[in-house]
Structure 1
Amino acid sequence: MTVLRSALDTTAPEYAANREAMLAKLDELEAEHAKALAGGGEKYVARHRGRGRLLARERIELLLDPDTPFLELSPLAAWGSDHTVGASLVTGIGVVEGVECLITANDPTVRGGASNPWTLKKALRANEIARANRLPLVSLVESGGADLPSQKEIFIPGGALFRDLTRLSEAGIPTIAVVFGNSTAGGAYVPGMSDHVIMVDRGAKVFLGGPPLVRMATGEEADDEELGGAGMHARVSGLADHFAVDEPDALRQARRVVARLNRSKAHPAPDPAAVRPPRHDEDELLGVVPGDLKIPFDPREVIARIVDDSDFDEFKPLYGTSLTTGWATLHGYPVGILANARGVLFSQESQKAAQFIQLANQRDIPLLFLHNTTGYMVGTEYEQGGIIKHGAMMINAVSNSKVPHLSVLMGASYGAGHYGMCGRAYDPRFLFAWPSAKSAVMGPRQLAGVLSIVMRESAAARGRPYDEEGDAALRAMVEQQIEAESLPVFLSGRLYDDGVIDPRDTRTVLGMCLSAVHSAPVAGARGGFGVFRM
């Protein structure tokens, strides 16, 4: 039998403590998500509603098929910055007329939907997901353009948004713009470069220059409607392909456009009736990860609660035991799983991972990386044993693998181990974190200790006495800084992941991601891994 048995003791005090710590982190996470949901605040939400307008998430809800989920991405973008949490943009994956789509929606309650640097980063990430997974892109537009005080950080890189629209279209990936309000200046090119354009009467305003700019530049007097209203673009310029009488009508028409796209997934979806849920309760995931990440935990307890029927065929179970590898299905989709068991990656684990990644590519099977690693092992014995070349072998395999990669940061994800386990820089199709996760070049205490040793040796080399009191203060300051910068909300705010999720939602989130990646062809590398140093 390859069904995983659970050794998790849900009556143990350690389990209770882990669960309590995770629930506390989830409460904190919910409070941060609430900031994104609040948009620009009560005043601006009320003003927007007073104009008879729908909110961004209400527009998305009307666009989606009834009773289908929406996987929101990067909801904490801009957290910790001077800008509103969420970055005045909602992005995510949802089903429209049976077609999985990447949806973006400006939040006009935040500075009129103006784009700040984090809005740009979030939009570019959404475009990347649409391209990699061949998902139609539906843009729900209402934006005053660039947030002018931030223009120096937006203008030059912002051109990539319009480049992406044309490249998606060239690749045969449909782009649809539904314009509810302002889409001005550079923003006018969002509908201008989309395959299909729907505009709302007396709401949409699409022009390169509004009445004040036209007056200054040419002396001409013109109003919004004749310059860029939906009626003009539907009857005169031809920019609008569809003319909507109101917002619900625009969303109804958008659904009809998607219905006529003639889209089909590259790989047929598994029969839901044939998919068996895990045999172990997903709620128990709350008690798996210790509050202290220095305490190891068995990733098989996680695997047993996310894969179909808790069925897992382990690969090399007696070799390189700090890394668990094996095969499973998740919501009917085949996956190869790499999960850190005891944190440190040694030479055996690295070689095992490289072989496993090659096998997944031979079989065209997506890979799931479950992170809890402090990095590759250091020390004389391990350096002489070739840890650098073996770690490089694993990173080489991850870098050149062609099957889709999904990553979930459960616990620690430090140092080069973050790279070997397919961190953000290695282009996983999707990367999510649990509230328990931490990621940095190394742990806070280790990093502070390294700095202390370097400064102590420097003082000794110059023959100067070492300031022990200053050292203690510096170590405390550095530990506090690195701890804060390692937390998942901090990293998610910088779009180093696609969202911080409740561990209990992991199976559902991964299932939606696997469905999305199978909208595009799934094919592995056939030998093209570069030189493996043996």
Structure 2
Amino acid sequence: MTAFASRWNAASAQAQQRRAHMLARIGQLRALEQRAQDASAQAGPRFAKRHQLLPRERVALLLDAGSPWLPLASLAGFLHDVPDADKSVPGGGIVAGIGFISGTRCMVVASDSGIEAGAIQPMGLDKILRVQEIALRERLPFIHLVESAGANLMRYRVEGFVYGGSMFRNLARLSAAGIPVITVQHGSGTAGGAYMPGLSDIVIMVEGRSRAFLAGPPLLKAATGEVATEEELGGALMHTTVSGLGEYLARDDREALGIARHVVAQLQWSNRPQTLAGQAQAAIEKWYAEPPWPVDDLLTLMPAHHREPVDMREVAARIVDGGALLEFKSGHGMATVCAQAAIQGHAVGLITNNGPIDIAGANKATHFIQWMCQLGHPIVYLQNTTGYMVGKEMEQGGIIKHGSKMIQAVTNATVPQLTIQCGASFGAGNYGMCGRGFAPRFLFAWPTATTAVMGGEQAAGTMRIVTEAALRRKGVEPDQHKMQQQFDAVVAMFERQQDAFATSGMLLDDGVIDPRDTRAVLGFCLSTIAEGAARELRPMQFGVARM
């Protein structure tokens, strides 16, 4: 393969305009992430008084210094479409991501107890369920730093209680699959929260701070009239000497995290023999070439509006090794781009869009997906499509059946699939390009991404035509002023919901990323997948039970 012959002038006025727009969006993203950090940090004096570390300090101390860290769902729970959106704190009350502990790649989840005492938020539950799903599929040790007030009874919703059981079910599934579940109980774990340590393989508790009980003193007194102290009911010393819920007793947060690092080191997962394929991949990764263009070029490629054309090969070439693409059927179905390449030494197939998906493009993508499955190469989708092509010629040519073949191929692909939403992700194009509903192993979005059943103006135009026709059938001439008001309202509604920050707040992706980080993120995820596939687990009929 040779390097892609780029025709993009990153210094042009158009490119600089796009760069300014992208940087503004990245600035908004970082401000939202900082909002969560600042909200948590306000509890700093209170934590210091208790000789505790803040949640993000705990995570930083747990992880290997200077090692890669991939945060997940940092905008979860962000309310974009509300009057006081400027006060909405993203993150779902949870810090989560994949990082290295004692050389072992792990899923790390920490209660953000600096916000509402770590009470579980609605999207926080969904976030935990998502990262548990990733840990199970990618065979990652699940490390949980717990300090939570449990459910927020002032915001109680019965469905949150019912679906919350999935969180505990997943812990049991992880343990039974042979994946270690390790909990550091930094503070309180009440009612359902007590099952976090209860369903862990190893529990580390902090003297004078850890609490775990099904009913705290207030509920106990209200329910039975019995009076007991927190220490008697569920203190760290009691659980490590009497009940047996805890294996290790630490004097403070720092020692607890040090013990957790030792426990992970003793797994010896970082130096277990890998398969020959894993060893070969490790050798390849030592000599891959970086793309020959400045990484900042990725800021200049995507327009502010999906109507402007983009040659997505320019994006693809800037995230693959050596900028080299081996295009598949380059002269056929040209609006759908398929190519073989490598990302940080990992062989991949790339599928992206230079326009709507037509019949030729759908068939080409179907063929390519099956070819990648035969080779065993992961598929990376770079979404930028307004959907499948419509019109009389397309319908008569069978766009429905050909598009369905592509969707069947995506659904049943036997190789890992990863998705980056770069630009538009409209209609069934979201499905055919492996959107969230098709369970890609990882899905990230650029700040410019837009996701909707169709563009706002198309939706508004459709509604206007249907409404006007209905009125005329009744013998009423439409009021054009009202029609325009309806049109504007529909456009505004779609644009609010299709925004990348809004969709990320609903956990329709695994996080919004800076385009310049795309290659590093994909490389990290591909290594995570390859490492998990090479790892031999020792599954059991049941998880490790507390004794």
Q: 1:413 aligns with which of 425, 435, 448?
A: 425
Supply the distance in 2 between the matched residues of 1:149 and 1:425 (Cα, whole angstroms).
32
Q: 1:324 is paired with a residue of what secondary structure? A: strand
The alignment status of 1:476 with 2:498, answered yes or no, reads: no
Residue 522 (structure 1) shift: 8.0
1:519 matched to 2:531: yes
Q: 8 Å contact 1:280–1:304 — kept in the other structure? A: no
Deviation, structure 1 residue 222: 1.7
* Corresponding residue of 2:542: none
SS at match of 1:120: helix
Is 2:171 the partner of 1:165?
yes
In structure 2, the residue matched to 1:62 is 61
Instruction: Tell me the SS of whatever aligns to 1:209.
Output: coil
5+ residue gaps, structure 1, are: 524-534
Residues 279, 304 of structure 1: 8 Å contact kept: no
2:403 maps to which residue?
Answer: 391
**Residue 528 (structure 1) aligns with:** none
For 1:230, the equivalent position in structure 2 comes to 236
Letter in 2 for 1:37: Q
Counterpart mapping for 1:250-261 below 5 A: 250-261=256-267
Deviation at 1:16, TM superposition (A): 1.1
Q: Which amino acid aligns with 2:527?
A: S
C-alpha contact 1:39 1:45 (8 A) present in aligned 2: no
**Equivalence for 1:72:** 71
Q: Secondary structure at the match of 1:105?
A: strand
Deviations 1:452-486 (A, max 9, x none): 01101111111111111000011111111111111
1:139 aligns with 2:144: yes
d(CA) in 2 for partners of 1:164, 1:273 = 36
**Matched residue, 2:250:** 244
- Given that residues 386 and 429 in structure 2 are in contact (C-alpha distance below 8 angstroms), is that contact kept between their aligned partners in structure 1? yes
Question: 8 Å contact 1:39–1:107 — kept in the other structure?
Answer: no
| Contact 2:51-2:252 within 8 A present in 1 as well | no
CA contact (8 A) 1:18 1:291 kept: yes
CA distance in 1, matches of 2:462, 2:243: 65
Task: Tell me, yes or no, if structure 1 residue 360 matches structure 2 residue 369.
Answer: no
- 2:436 is matched with 424
Q: Secondary structure at the match of 2:204?
A: strand
Opposite residue 118 of structure 2, the aligned amino acid is G
2:288 pairs, out of 275, 297, 301, with 275
Matches within 5 A, 1:362-381: 362-381=374-393
Picking from 491, 497, 517, the partner of 1:505 is 517
Please name the residue that 1:443 is paired with. Answer: 455
Between 324-333 and 483-492, the greater mean CA deviation after superposition: 324-333
Q: CA RMSD in A?
A: 1.6
User: Aligned pair count?
Assistant: 521
1:221 positional shift? 2.4
Matching residue's letter, 1:161: M
- Cα distance in 1 for partners of 2:174, 2:531 equals 15
Q: Structure 1 stretch 31-40 or stretch 473-482: which is displaced more?
A: 31-40
Deviations 1:277-322 (A, max 9, x none): 1111111100011222111111111112111111211111111111
Q: Distance in 1 between matches of 2:487 and 2:46?
A: 49
Q: Match of 2:4, as an amino acid?
A: L
Give the letter for the 2:8 counterpart.
L
Distance across 2 between alignment mates of 1:226 and 1:31? 44
User: Deviation at 1:403?
Assistant: 1.2
Amino acid of the structure 2 residue aligned with 1:10: A
Task: Give deviations 1:111-132, integer Å, cap 9, x for gaps.
Answer: 1100021110111011011111
Alignment deviations for residues 217-262 of structure 1 (CA, whole Å, 9 cap, x no partner): 3333221112111111111111101111111111111111111123
* Counterpart-to-counterpart distance in 2, 1:54 and 1:512: 28
Shift of 1:402: 2.3
User: Does the C-alpha gap of structure 1 residues 317 and 522 become closer, same or farther in structure 2, counting only changes over 3 Å?
Assistant: farther
Q: Give the AA of the match of 1:373.
A: T
1:336 alignment partner, one of 330, 336, 349: 349
Structure 1 Cα separation of the partners of residues 223 and 476 of structure 2: 67
In the TM superposition, what is the alpha-carbon distance from 1:52 to its structure 2 partner? 1.8
Q: Which segment is superposed worse, 373-382 or 273-282?
A: 273-282
Which deviates the most, 144-153 or 466-475? 144-153
Deviation track 1:369-402 (CA, whole Å, cap 9, x = no partner) reads 0000000011111000000000000000001112
Q: 1:17 aligns to what?
A: 17
Q: Give the Cα separation in 2 of the matches to 1:311 and 1:35.
A: 39
Aligned equivalents of 2:182 and 2:414: distance in 1?
Answer: 29
Q: Deviations over 1:39-62 (max 9, x none)?
A: 3462x3332233221111111111
- The answer for the alignment partner of 1:532 in structure 2 is none
Give unpaired runs (5+ residues) of structure 2.
83-87, 536-547
Alignment of 1:285-324 (within 5 A): 285-324=298-337
Range moving further from structure 2, 223-232 or 443-452: 223-232
| Equivalent-residue separation in structure 2 for 1:145 and 1:98 (angstroms) | 32
For residues 224 and 184 of structure 1, what CA distance do their matches in structure 2 show? 11
| SS across alignment from 2:374 | helix
Question: What is the identity percentage for the equivalent residue pairs of Structure 1 and Structure 2?
Answer: 45
2:101 aligned with 1:88: no
> Within 1, Cα distance between the matches of 2:345 and 2:118?
39
Are 1:84 and 1:110, in contact at CA under 8 Å, matched by a contact in 2? no
Provide Cα deviations, 1:194-226, integer angstroms capped at 9, x if missing partner.
Answer: 111111111110111112222233333221112
Query: Which residue of structure 1 lines up, in the alignment, with residue 545 of structure 2?
Result: none
Q: Secondary structure at the match of 2:24?
A: helix
**What SS does structure 2 have at the residue aligned with 1:139?**
strand
TM superposition shift of 1:5:
1.9
Structure number with the bigger relative contact order (C-alpha 8 A, sep ≥ 6) is 2
Rounded Cα–Cα distance in structure 2 between residues aligned with 1:308 and 1:199: 45
Deviation of 1:516 (Å):
1.2
- What SS does the aligned partner of 2:428 have? helix
TM-score with structure 1 setting the length: 0.95
193, 196, 200: which is aligned to 1:190? 196
In 2, Cα distance between equivalents of 1:218 and 1:436: 56
User: Would you say the 8 A contact 1:117–1:150 is kept in 2?
Assistant: no
**Contact between 1:371 and 1:410, CA under 8 Å: does it hold in 2?**
yes
Q: Separation in 1 of the partners of 2:405 and 2:154?
A: 46
Alignment equivalent of 1:118, drawn from 103, 115, 123: 123
The answer to whether structure 1 residue 129 and structure 2 residue 128 are counterparts is: no
Alpha-carbon separation, structure 2, partners of 1:11 and 1:228 = 63
- What SS does the aligned partner of 1:172 have? coil
CA contact (8 A) 1:135 1:519 kept: no
Distance in 2 (alpha carbons) for counterparts of 1:311 and 1:16: 25
Find the aligned partners of 1:49 and 1:423 in 2 and give their Cα distance: 44
